[in-house]
Amino acid sequence: MARNTFLSWSTTAGDNIDVGGVYIGEGCPPSNMNNSDRTIMAILRRDVDGKVVYAAKSGGYTALATDNNAVHRYTATATVTLTAAATLGTDWHYTVIADGADVTIDPNGAETIDGAATLVVPSGYSAFIVCNGSAFFSDKVVSLLATKADTTAIGSFIDGLLLSNNSGSPNTQIDFAAGSVRSGSSFVSNPSSITKRINGTWAVGTGNGGLDTGSVGASATYFAYALRKDDDLTFDVVLSTSATIAGVTTTLLTGYTIVKQIGVVLTDASSLIRPFVMYPHDEYTFVTPVKDANSITTSTTSTLLALTVPNGVKVKAKLRFFYSSSATTAAALISDPSQGVLVSGLGGSGSNVGTIQVASGFAVGSSGIWTNTAKQVRHVAGATGDLWVWNDGFHFPCGRNA
């Protein structure tokens, strides 16, 4: 049966607050109230007493007893120093809005807020702070309730967060667009694009290094992972040669959770980021096609060919082919190594590089071919000849659905 909850408040001294049939004496909270109860009651008082005082701040400030029930909007980086909890007293409450930069809440001396030495309110967020006479608490309890529900969630997705070469420094920096990502119970959102450097070890924030360890390598694969900062749930990215979360070096990532792999970056022989365009559904196109085979010998013996694609994972390479042979009616076949050794031609497994009708003529074709984890595909022909392979890019499935 549904239960009606109502709130009444009398300004007569000694009257009670009635919340859903529970009476609380004005100015005298019961001693058995926990800190979550105190926070909720303070929010109720804030919302009904009609005495909120608003002010804009552009720098650091010390919150005083007279700021009880105040709402302060900070438009620049600031530290809010809280007066001693005993001085502010039980049920003192205060709202901070970070509108333009992060705001740090710093309790007096060794006092804590939510059990920590400080609380960072990220730009674009707010925090409602309550004092119990000895420590401080924030409406992070509401966030914790959301997190509790979040732990029961299932599924995985990436919304946005497309990768691209940075326009100013395309050879060394990668931009990550705004978006959100979930992997099971872990979720993080990025409200605006950030940039990470591939030529430096990881440091928090946009424009800083992105590598989990070491220095950038030549012809290497770097997987991008979304990070969530544990204390304020903010977003960042780390780059690693590991194809799995378990292999990422976490020495520099204290206080962060690795949420999900969100993309991949390749370097060339000069250790520079290979220019690419990334499309929805995790598809990458090289700005300049890569010639992965230049008149190599192909024959009736199936052979592996290494491609310029991510290492350690299977991807679907976007390939174009050119085959020439002195034999007539011969064709070539490029295939997924997981299919095993195939035979090219009408009597075998067919072909995807046409059929030569004139001796020393040529045939062309194109196809999307899945690789093995060693970046390889197989090629075989109906007769010995020469093979050229152009690589336009690849599809690497991280989990984008749009």
One pLDDT digit (tens) per residue for the chain, 402 residues: 344 433 434 444 444 444 444 444 444 444 455 555 555 555 555 554 545 688 999 999 999 999 999 999 999 999 999 999 999 999 999 999 988 888 999 999 999 998 899 998 888 888 999 999 999 999 863 343 344 444 455 678 999 999 999 999 999 999 999 999 999 878 899 889 999 999 999 999 999 999 999 999 999 999 999 999 988 889 999 999 999 999 999 999 999 999 999 999 999 999 999 999 999 899 999 999 999 999 999 999 999 999 999 999 999 999 999 999 999 889 999 999 999 999 999 889 999 998 888 898 899 999 999 999 999 999 999 999 999 999 999 999 998 764
β-bridge partners, 239: 211, 224
Using alpha carbons, select from 76, 57, 77, 75 the residue that is nearest to residue 67. Answer: 57
Task: Report the pLDDT value the prediction gives residue 232, as an integer from 0 to 100.
Answer: 83
**Cα dihedral: 293, 298, 302, 308 (round 10):** 0
Task: Report the pLDDT value the prediction gives residue 122, as an integer from 0 to 100.
Answer: 84
Does residue 343 come out as left (phi exceeding 0), alpha (psi in the -120 to 50 range) or beta? beta
Joined tokens for residue 2:
């549904």
Using alpha carbons, select from 381, 377, 243 the residue that is nearest to residue 316. Answer: 377
Task: Report the pLDDT value the prediction gives residue 21, as an integer from 0 to 100.
Answer: 43
Task: Report the pLDDT value the prediction gives residue 52, as an integer from 0 to 100.
Answer: 67
Task: Report the pLDDT value the prediction gives residue 99, as an integer from 0 to 100.
Answer: 87
Q: What is the identity of the amino acid at 205? A: G
**Cα dihedral: 13, 14, 15, 21 (round 10):** 150
Taking the alpha carbons at both ends of the chain, their separation in whole angstroms is: 43
Please, how many CA atoms are within 13 Å of residue 236, restricted to the half-sphere of its CB? 28
Please tell me the distance from the alpha carbon of residue 226 to that of residue 263, in angstroms, as a whole number.
Answer: 9
Q: How many beta carbons lie within 10 A of that of residue 334, not counting itself? A: 27
Of 2.60.120, 3.30.200, 1.20.272, 3.40.50, the CATH number of 283-395 is 2.60.120
CATH 2.60.120 segments of the chain: 283-395
Please state the pTM of the whole predicted model: 0.66
Please tell me the distance from the alpha carbon of residue 252 to that of residue 305, in angstroms, as a whole number.
Answer: 37
Please tell me the distance from the alpha carbon of residue 371 to that of residue 218, in angstroms, as a whole number.
Answer: 21
Handedness of CA 117, 123, 125, 130 (dihedral sign): positive
CB 342 within 8 A of CB 380: yes
